[in-house]
Structure 1
Amino acid sequence: MNRDAMNREALNPDAMNPDAMDRDVANRHEVERDEVLHAVSSAVLSVTRHLSVREVLQVIVRSAQRLLDARYAALGVPDDKGAFAEFVAEGITDEQWEAIGPTPRQHGMLGAMLREAQPVRLPDIRKDPRFEWWPRAHPVVKDFLGVPIRDGEAVLGIIFLSNKRTPGGFTEADQELLTLFAAHAAIALTNARLYERGRELALVEERTRMARELHDAVTQKLFSLRLAAQTAGALLTSAPERAAAELDRVQRLAGEALAELRAVIVELRPAELDRHGLAETLRKHVRLLDRIHPVSVVFEGSVRDLPENLEPEVEVAVLRVAQEALHNALRHSGCSTVSVRLERGDGGRLALEVRDDGTGFDAAVPPARGLGLASMRDRAEAVGGRVEVASRPGEGTTVRMEV
């Protein structure tokens, strides 16, 4: 071949020989495969950074939604009662969730996937005989892709996507990609569960240790206090000076017992925080109060809006301040509505706000009943935060903590 022919071939891709064309296609496929594996790797890494089961579930759903460009994504973890122990979703607002109603049960397509434990890919879920119905407020779902999350033969959960943003619906390649991601997600979910079980065992051991401390330290102090008080009572008429000394001893022992008791109480971290995290624990507490009180109690907040890697001490302090503020509002304010908001504040700080529409009070004048305001402020300051109370007569009360 002369030089001109070689130049023409170099400038004309169509003139390449079949082997070169095959190599070019193979290179493109390799680049595409690397991009896909990189996307899966990034998604898996984002999941494995979390150790709370609830957080892992939420990050799995969010990562799958982004990975396959779906409008909606959800993940359900079945229980043994025909419902779901956990159910998280992306693409649906809190208001939509409220309108949709209770968590779905194991019926229709979800039940079929749990029984069959096989991937399902449909151009229109509504036309499949396994589909039954959804609540009136449920968004309209068309194209559907669902994959079981498996640990051996056991189905840990099902992850499903719907309404792919790219026209044409989900492809076979999408199904393979989601199946690959689900296999890694199963490892992360199992790891999170093992971690939480380990934490629970450690918590039991820690509570046992603190129970021993209560018995060995506080109980002995209280016994000595009682003995000193009895001695002072016996000496009150016959030896007033010795009785006064015993009363001084009573005060000292009472102070020591109180200090030790407080130290033990501060160490007790609510087990719900380890299982569900701060936002979900507070949401469940608010939901319980809403059910047992005639007052409307609502929660506003989402895990995705909160700072990551909160210190355990911060979570405990925020939860306790919220509980104290809620107790005050429900018991003393005469309100009809209480709202609890948890969000990322200025500068990445965590912000808690408890607001009621009750009678309020003059915040410049400390209320006679105290309302535990000093306790709330002490808790906040102990973790580097602050509590502010805003209230006026007839205009309700707002308690805000930032840390």
Structure 2
Amino acid sequence: MSRHLEVREVLQRIATSARTLVGAEYAALGVPDDHGGFAQFVVDGISDRQWRAIGPLPRQHGILAVMLKDSAPQRLDDVRQDPRFGGWPQAHPDMRAFLGVPILDGDEILGALFLANKHSLANKHSPADPTGGADRHAPFTAHDEHLLRILAAHAALALTNARLYERSRELTLVGERARIAHDLHDAVSQKLFSLRLTAQAASALVARDPDRARAELAEVSRLAAEAAEELRAVVVELRPAALDEDGLLPTLTSQVEVLNRAHTARVGFTHTRIHALPPAQEAAVLRVAQEALHNALRHSGAGSVRVVLGPGPGGCGALLTVSDDGRGFAPDEVRRAGRHLGLVSMRDRAAGVGGALRIESSPGRGTVVELEVPGG
């Protein structure tokens, strides 16, 4: 658990470890928010399809609420018979034997581990038993509870460490944003001020001195070009701090997880191993992925977005694909209307590293953004 620094990855590792440690069919770990729900909730032993069928995250009620308010473990032979049991959705698997242990940092409850359905020792390793030997009637033991409490103590340290790590990264990003704001102010704002004054002067001179007005407009054009170039230099120079620290795959993974928590659309990320890319190409891949995800989640109305990263043709470079099932658009109409949806920025980033950007979309058919960058 301590080898992982991303909070969600730590939570998943804790849930998986707990389930394996005491031989349970199902495990879950919930981290409460301040509004009667869960900031994070991970499960183990339930397929993605089952999890989607169950529906929204649970609220803090029944046994779950007890676990988040009381530091005492809860061990029940049949959770359904407990008077505090609040029921579960129709697609929820059948659970009887229950063991819950809070994850504590001093007196603060960071979260709670929930285990259900004890494995039968007689069938646990039997290949003929497709359930893995889960016996919903077998109770968890005092020894199981003891082991889980030890695990929860280690989990508290790992979770606290992961939270501190993510907080330090947030502070790094805040500092980076402050630096960018300072650079933008110094590099661009004075030129924009001069541009505005020159444009006002040209406007005043149009009627009485056309030749001088044309000269002022030429100066406006020159100042605008300089401002655009300096702005581009500031943006291109910026390389995300997380990219330097963690690399492309962990950074993309982390951003997809954040987007999954912030949006109702389901965002998936799959990848296969790619050879190391030059820093400029890694930054381009990340920025194009961010722009494509932003468009899909904010503008397309998609219910599902898929990000795939793997090697390019012949195993060299990288191929990024971001696809969604949203409403799509007609690229030519968007271009004629003067709306770009970040398409120009994505094409510029691709061209800047010798890559190629392809966009396929039509109304009602979703969108696919594909970036191919060559090997370093």
Q: Same fold (TM over 0.5)?
A: yes
1:122 and 1:351, CA in 2 relative to 1: closer, same or farther beyond 3 A? Answer: farther
Partner-residue secondary structure (3-state), 2:88: coil
2:15 is the alignment partner of 1:71: no
Partner-residue secondary structure (3-state), 1:117: coil
Tell me the equivalent position of 1:183: 153
CA distance in 2 between counterparts of 1:135 and 1:243 reads 72
2:307 is the alignment partner of 1:342: yes
CA distance in 2 between counterparts of 1:122 and 1:384 reads 62
Tell me the equivalent position of 1:24: none
Correspondence for 1:206 among 173, 176, 182 = 176
Tell me the equivalent position of 1:193: 163
Query: TM-score with structure 2 length normalisation?
Result: 0.72
Pick the structure with greater CA Rg: 1
Query: TM-score with structure 1 length normalisation?
Result: 0.67
CA distance in 2 between counterparts of 1:384 and 1:121 reads 60
2:266 is the alignment partner of 1:299: yes
Tell me the equivalent position of 1:20: none
Tell me the equivalent position of 1:161: 115
Identity %: 49
1:349 and 1:150, CA in 2 relative to 1: closer, same or farther beyond 3 A? Answer: farther
Correspondence for 1:128 among 79, 82, 85 = 82
CA distance in 2 between counterparts of 1:97 and 1:218 reads 50
Deviation at 1:376, TM superposition (A): 3.0
RMSD (CA atoms): 4.0
On the 8 A contact 1:121/1:170 being kept in 2, the answer is yes
CA distance in 1 between counterparts of 2:309 and 2:16 reads 19
Tell me the equivalent position of 2:11: 57
Partner-residue secondary structure (3-state), 2:60: coil
Matches within 5 A, 1:4-403: 44-45=1-2, 48-50=3-5, 52-165=6-119, 166=124, 167=133, 168=138, 170-233=140-203, 243-262=213-232, 267=238, 277-284=254-261, 286-287=263-264, 298-301=265-268, 305=270, 314-325=285-296, 329=300, 339-343=304-308, 345=310, 351-356=321-326, 361=330, 368-369=336-337, 371-372=340-341, 373-379=343-349, 387-391=357-361, 396-401=365-370
The one-letter amino acid of 1:400's match is V
- Structure 1 unaligned residues grouped into runs of 5+: 1-43, 288-297, 331-336
Deviation at 1:74, TM superposition (A): 1.0
On the 8 A contact 2:103/2:156 being kept in 1, the answer is yes
1:73 and 1:317, CA in 2 relative to 1: closer, same or farther beyond 3 A? Answer: farther
The one-letter amino acid of 1:283's match is N
On the 8 A contact 2:323/2:366 being kept in 1, the answer is no
Partner-residue secondary structure (3-state), 1:229: helix
Partner-residue secondary structure (3-state), 1:137: coil
Deviation at 1:142, TM superposition (A): 2.1
Deviation at 1:92, TM superposition (A): 2.9
Deviations 1:348-399 (A, max 9, x none): 96542123466x6588x9953464433333345668875432346x772431
Deviation at 1:322, TM superposition (A): 2.0
CA distance in 2 between counterparts of 1:231 and 1:131 reads 76
CA distance in 1 between counterparts of 2:267 and 2:293 reads 13
Deviation at 1:123, TM superposition (A): 3.4
Partner-residue secondary structure (3-state), 1:106: coil
